[in-house]
Amino acid sequence: MRARLGPALAEALKDDAWRDLEAELITGGKSNLTYRLRSAAGEVILRRPPEGEVRESAHDMGREIRVQKALAETDVPVPEILLADAAGDLLGVPSYVMSAVPGVVVRDKLPAVDPRVVAGNLVRALAAIHTVDVEKAGLTDFGRPEGFLSRQIRRWSRQWEAVGQDGVLAVDELAAALAAALPVSTGQSLVHGDFRLDNCVLDLSSSKINAVLDWEMSTLGDPLADLGLLLFYWREPGEQPWLLAPSITRTLGFPRRAEIASWYAEATGADLTHLTVYLAFAHLKFAVITEDINVRVRSGAMAGQDFGDLTGEAARIAEAGLDVLGKV
């Protein structure tokens, strides 16, 4: 990694100290691999796809690079792209280097902050994403918002087939039930695709969101898909956590899902009549992601990271999604 990356960074950042760098894997990432690069000049962050075979349309470095550059002049906080190699010339795979944003990523331990303030700032960050002027940002061709949810259901169904897991009927049942319950889309915007607390950098002094990270699934689509996924991750006291997602929001002091949804509606004016369908869709999406990660870990594509025994987790998530959809 260092042989080509060091000189390229030294040239991009105008500092020869980057020719001698150290790389450390930031564990916990479950899709693209993230490394902390250190030298006498400071610290930056490298993003690259996982090892091994990468499925078509997945782990798109070029997409991450483009959207973060486009958002640099908006109200959405993002890291600065310092070096972009979408062609894969430096590492043999597409990659990019971004600034190391000050703050913390909250996963399993809550720092000395007010959970309600954190939650409010998180909702405001999501609203900022959904109110970006995509034309001004140069993102009008970044996706096809028409028919977004229908296409997403088909996409994740195909992804499930690609994972090759037989005998987990709940995932197929959930996809079919969602296809039959499709609401009329009420909005179009930039969507993040995996918006959650631990995909953000939190400022410890102000509790503001210093940066939104991990844009690999971003596109133009239905903003309620983002909200539904945030609420899926937002576990409440007494609920079992998802094995691949932090459950810090079960901590005393965090608002409940209903309040998060209400704050979002106030910030954006969104109609949440069909929010339950989007929440159920989030279950489908994450069930497939969970099994895909399970397969990639077993094949050694996650740089040695081990996320525990995920047997039956995709089925548990899909069954919970069917339960949610049954309440429509």
Question: Which neighbouring-strand residues pair with 104?
Answer: 202
Q: pTM of the prediction?
A: 0.92
Is 54 in the same domain as 92? yes
pLDDT at 146 over 70: yes
Q: Which domain holds residue 70?
A: 2-99
Other Cβ atoms less than 10 A from the Cβ of 252: the count is 7
Count of structural domains within the chain: 2
Write out pLDDT tens, residues 90-124.
Answer: 999 999 999 999 999 999 899 999 999 999 999 99
pLDDT tens for residues 276-321? 999 999 999 999 999 988 877 766 655 556 667 788 999 999 999 9
SS3 251: coil
pLDDT of residue 207: 97
Rounded distance, CA 283 to CA 249, Å?
18
- Residue 320, in any domain of the structure: yes
| 109 token code pair | 């331990």
Six-digit token pair at 126?
């999501």
Q: Which residues contact 286 (CB under 8 A, 6 or more apart)?
A: 229, 232, 242, 244, 245, 317
Q: Does 110 map to a domain? A: no
Distance separating alpha carbons of residues 151 and 133, to the nearest angstrom = 23
- Do 77 and 121 share a domain, yes or no? no
Tens-place pLDDT, residues 185-216: 778 999 999 999 999 999 999 999 999 999 99
Residue of 55, 80, 320 whose CA lies nearest to 201? 80
Residue 302: predicted pLDDT = 52
- Parallel/antiparallel/unpaired status of strands 95-99 and 33-39: unpaired
Both 142 and 8 in a single domain?
A: no
Residues 17 and 162 in one domain: no
Task: Give the single-character DSSP code of 108.
Answer: S
pLDDT at position 184, please?
83
Cα(180)–Cα(5) distance, integer angstroms: 49
Domain holding 281: CATH number?
3.90.1200.10
Res. 57: pLDDT tops 60: no
pLDDT > 90? residue 2: no
52 and 152 fall within a common domain = no
Q: What is the dihedral of CA 327, 197, 194, 65, to 10 degrees?
A: 160
Whether residue 78 lies inside any domain: the answer is yes
CATH code: domain of residue 68 = 3.30.200.20
pLDDT digits (tens, 9 = 90+) for 6-55: 999 999 999 999 999 999 998 765 568 999 999 999 999 999 998 755 55
Other C-beta atoms lying within 10 Å of the C-beta of residue 17: 14
The pairing of strands 81-85 and 189-191 is: unpaired
Predicted confidence (pLDDT) at residue 328 exceeds the cutoff of 60 = no
